[in-house]
Amino acid sequence: MGTVHARSLEPLPSSGPDFGGLGEEAEFVEVEPEAKQEILENKDVVVQHVHFDGLGRTKDDIIICEIGDVFKAKNLIEVMRKSHEAREKLLRLGIFRQVDVLIDTCQGDDALPNGLDVTFEVTELRRLTGSYNTMVGNNEGSMVLGLKLPNLLGRAEKVTFQFSYGTKETSYGLSFFKPRPGNFERNFSVNLYKVTGQFPWSSLRETDRGVSAEYSFPIWKTSHTVKWEGVWRELGCLSRTASFAVRKESGHSLKSSLSHAMVIDSRNSSILPRRGALLKVNQELAGYTGGDVSFIKEDFELQLNKQLIFDSVFSASLWGGMLVPIGDKPSSIADRFYLGGPTSVRGFSMHSIGPQSEGDYLGGEAYWAGGLHLYTPLPFRPGQGGFGELFRTHFFLNAGNLCNLNYGEGPKAHIRKLAECIRWSYGAGIVLRLGNIARLELNYCIPMGVQTGDRICDGVQFGAGIRFL
């Protein structure tokens, strides 16, 4: 995307000055070498000017916030480091196609002996850009077409229109994104969308039309997102053979909810990490800002990764959640949790654990799931240092349960019910990492603890996605 160039502050001549010819009587004076040569990197310098070449519609104030630290550099190494950091911040804004940096000695009447000029050569994105790509979700794929208006008002604002057509879901939406100058992690966005999804495990079709507004901000090592969402939901049967329990859920509903998400992520990779930890906590409160759906919903995700000998990685993960309806109205099938499948409790079919009616899975109001994994290199290390590094051997042990709770009972009764009828599985397989986009798994699974009504996948199971237990 670009490079950082630096020129010497005091370049030394490659050859001595031209004195002309020497006569026979000329005396040669022996010059002793300097005892100590000054190290350029440690020489005190002052950044006097920062120039930008290539700016068009971008406003000065958004740029000043990103390059302010360059003026604080005290030596050449710091100037290069802070210039590189400023370049990364400028690219992160999403308004430049390319950013190059040139560091040179200061020129002009006001130039100091140790003064430097830093020049950022930028190429702005076009006012309208388009994209075409494919996306991989949890065991589904989609084609995505998008139009983007970057840097709409000159301060890194962005308007995006996106259409997605997938195997289970079709959606389109319009969004507006606005970062805070000088702090890209603090940003505000508004979204308008329509999503139509098919859920064959429940014989259900759902169409959501909604609007949302969210604000993201960091606190210490955590990232937070506060969101309001208002959505008009239309539920219908996917087939004529849908159970009565699903038909009873059909119809229209209006949900207005406030939610908060906190994330702590120290992993070196989100797809197939070798070290680090992840903690996600989500809370949602529906009904107090309007609508005809009322509940409190909490869920979390915890993951720990540790690198072992022989380039092996041990990973442990734990998921859990609970939904509590408010009032006399029961929870909706669209708000409940689902469990099972190649991305959660392996060895079971997609979302096929827990309460069901006539073969249609209805979800549950409480669940937990845990997994232990060992990832190792392929035997004999084929393709080591190249294509073979994308593959890992995978050994796993998964367990979990999903059910409905009687909230008139105490916590001990809830824990006892979640500990009953635990489904678990074990097996081995191969994992393929698709860059930082998604991963594929091909496992041989042996399901255990199968309960009446569960749908299993005994043997080979294929999974694709970005979030795995």
Contacts of 155 (CB under 8 A, 6+ apart): 58, 59, 61, 62, 178, 181
Fold (CATH) for 129-465 = Porin (2.40.160)
Reduce the DSSP state of residue 91 to 3 states and report it. helix
- Residue with more model confidence, 11 or 185: 185
Q: For strand 115-124 and strand 46-53, is the pairing parallel, antiparallel, or unpaired?
A: parallel
In total, the chain counts a number of residues equal to: 469
Cα-Cα-Cα-Cα torsion 106, 107, 111, 112, nearest 10 degrees, comes to 40
Q: Are 119 and 91 in contact (CB under 8 A)?
A: no
Q: Is residue 343 pLDDT above 60, yes or no?
A: yes
Order across the sheet with 4-6: list the strands.
Answer: 4-6, 96-105, 115-124, 46-53
Q: What average pLDDT does this structure show over 429-437?
A: 88
46-124 has CATH 3.10.20.310 classification: yes
Percentage of the chain beyond pLDDT 90 is: 54
Q: What is the mean pLDDT of the chain?
A: 86
Question: pLDDT tens, 385-429?
Answer: 777 788 999 999 999 999 888 776 777 777 888 888 899 999 999
| Cα end-to-end span (Å), the chain | 35
Q: What is the pLDDT of residues 48-105, one digit of tens each?
A: 888 899 888 898 888 888 888 888 888 888 889 999 999 999 999 989 999 999 988 8
Which is nearest to 296 in space by CA: 209, 233, 365?
Answer: 365
How high is the pLDDT of residue 5? 54
Query: What percent of the chain shows pLDDT beyond 70?
Result: 90
pLDDT at residue 6 in the model: 52
pLDDT for 3 equals 53
Domain boundaries, the chain: 46-124, 129-465
pTM (two decimals): 0.83
